[in-house]
């Protein structure tokens, strides 16, 4: 089980959170300049990389805030911004 640190509540078990998926890339400056295929990909096809991923977690059974963490999708280690293991 993951131990996720909520900035408001402190370290909590993963069971208190709902996974919100990877952080979305920024909206393109000019969506009209994209092809329909590229726009549909931006809106609907999430990246699924192996390794460190910035992702959102909703502290549903706690304070109700969204938390962004960096998690290694291979090892499930939670990393800080410098890539160091926080557990």
Interacting residues with Zn ion (CB under 5 A) = 6, 8-9, 59, 62-63
Question: To the nearest whole angstrom, how small is the minimum distance from the Cβ of residue 76 to Zn ion?
Answer: 20
Minimum CB distance to Zn ion smaller for 9 or for 42: 9
CB of 6 to Zn ion, least distance (A): 3
What is the nearest approach in angstroms of Zn ion to the Cβ of residue 64? Answer: 7
Lookup: tokens for 87? 């557990």
Which tokens is 28 given?
A: 């393109």
User: Distance between CA 66 and CA 58 in Å, rounded?
Assistant: 4
Phi, psi of 63, deg, nearest 5: -85, -10
């Amino acid at each position: 089980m993951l131990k996720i640190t909520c900035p408001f509540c402190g370290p909590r078990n993963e069971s208190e959170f709902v996974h919100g998926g990877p952080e979305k890339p920024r909206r393109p400056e000019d969506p009209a300049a994209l092809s329909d295929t590229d726009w549909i990909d931006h809106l609907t096809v999430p990246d699924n990389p192996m390794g460190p991923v910035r992702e959102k977690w909703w502290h549903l059974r706690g304070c109700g805030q969204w938390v962004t963490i960096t998690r290694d999708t291979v090892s499930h280690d939670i990393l800080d911004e410098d890539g160091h293991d926080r557990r």
